[in-house]
């Protein structure tokens, strides 16, 4: 038996070792909750980074975006026919944001009464590739190196009341 021991050790050395799955760390790193872009106080959304505020119409739901992103707040009407997104992008040349699956078919820069600012405003309409998708009506305002996009996604067949809702929200946008 003593003579077999060296041969046995040689055989063990040549055996492949089983693959071990990497184990998770003993201490889990906590997940960080996204920081909201602002808050809604007394039915007014107030941005925490930019000088932006907008009243939330009665019955609407306002959801702040996540800090670091373009979307600052999303407002939803009580009927679910209109969703207004307010987004900010760096720049000063009036242009709408690209929207996948949608083509900007109308773009006009002028002074529009719906938005209460003393600057030229871009009004635009984005026609969806799929006729069952919402149409996007937008106003774009340039303010201190930022382009502010007030975009209303309107359910098909609700264009007139949807535009009225968008104009109500856009008319309340203020830069403090």
Strands 102-110 and 121-128: antiparallel
Strand partners, 61: 76
For 25-48, what is each residue's pLDDT tens digit? Answer: 667 667 778 899 999 999 999 999
Written as six digits, the tokens of 132 are 């069952």
For 93-143, what is each residue's pLDDT tens digit? Answer: 999 999 999 999 999 998 888 888 888 899 999 999 999 999 999 999 999
Full-model pTM: 0.80
pLDDT: which is higher, 27 or 165: 165
Written as six digits, the tokens of 32 are 């960080």
pLDDT: which is higher, 8 or 97: 97
Indicate the average pLDDT of the chain: 88
CA atoms within 13 A on the CB side of 44: 12
DSSP E strand stretches across the chain: 38-41, 44-47, 52-55, 61-64, 71-76, 82-90, 102-110, 121-128, 135-143, 146-154, 174-175
| Contact by Cβ (8 Å): 125, 108 | no
Strongest mean pLDDT among 4-13, 74-83, 116-125: 74-83
| Contact by Cβ (8 Å): 40, 54 | no
pLDDT: which is higher, 114 or 87: 87
The Cα–Cα gap between 13 and 150 comes to 70
């Amino acid at each position: 038996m003593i003579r077999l021991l060296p041969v046995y050790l040689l055989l063990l050395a040549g055996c492949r070792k089983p693959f071990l799955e990497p184990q998770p760390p003993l201490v889990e790193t906590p997940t960080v909750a996204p920081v909201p872009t602002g808050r809604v106080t007394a039915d007014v959304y107030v941005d925490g980074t930019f000088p932006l505020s907008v009243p939330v119409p009665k019955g609407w739901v306002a959801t702040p975006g996540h800090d670091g992103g373009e979307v600052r707040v999303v407002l939803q009407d009580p009927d679910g026919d209109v969703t207004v997104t307010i987004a900010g992008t760096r720049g000063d040349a009036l242009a709408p944001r690209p929207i996948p699956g949608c083509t900007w078919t109308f773009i006009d820069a002028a002074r529009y009464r719906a938005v209460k600012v003393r600057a030229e405003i871009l009004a635009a309409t984005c026609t969806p590739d799929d006729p069952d998708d919402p149409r996007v009506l937008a106003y774009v305002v340039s303010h201190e190196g930022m382009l502010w996009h007030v975009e209303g996604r309107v359910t098909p067949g609700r264009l007139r009341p949807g535009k009225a809702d968008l104009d109500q929200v856009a008319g309340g946008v203020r830069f403090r």
